[in-house]
Amino acid sequence: MLAKLKIMKKIVSVLVVVLAFTFQSNAQDQMNKATKTIALEQTKGEFTQKGLTVDAGTYIFEVSNNHAAKEVGLVLVPKGKDASNPENHIKTAYVTTVVKDGETQKTNATTLTQGEYVYFCPLNPTPQYTLTVK
């Protein structure tokens, strides 16, 4: 009887672990489907995308350095906030690694709500461009 109880406990434990991984995997799949990518390219002194309009949602920014500078990056700030103050930057929109010449890097997932934002690069100084979220 005691042996059967131990076997039952092991089976229940295995089922709990399997179900936990299944639910976690499904949640991750749903998040990945809901996350969209915004591709941005930098050339010398500018982004080639001079303004964007997107729907509210979660985005990953993919930043390409097309011989713009040795290293480039991305800063995203709600429009109207002081962009020179790092406290106003949306940190998840920073590239995870500076983008070296000829490379592409991504940001973390960033949730954008309705409103206007500005994006720019402080390393390859670019103008501030408007990102409108509907």
Q: What is the DSSP string of 9-64?
A: HHHHHHHHHHHHHHHHHHHHHHHHHHEEEEEEEEETTEES---EEE-SEEEEEEEE
To the question of pTM greater than 0.85 for the whole model, the response is no
Whether 17 has a pLDDT exceeding 70, the answer reads no
Domains identified in the chain and CATH numbers: 35-133 (2.60.40.420)
Which tens digits make up the pLDDT trace of 73-107?
999 999 999 999 999 999 999 999 999 999 999 99
pLDDT at 24: 54
Determine how many CB atoms are found less than 10 A away from the CB of residue 84.
10
CA dist 105 and 98 (Å) reads 7
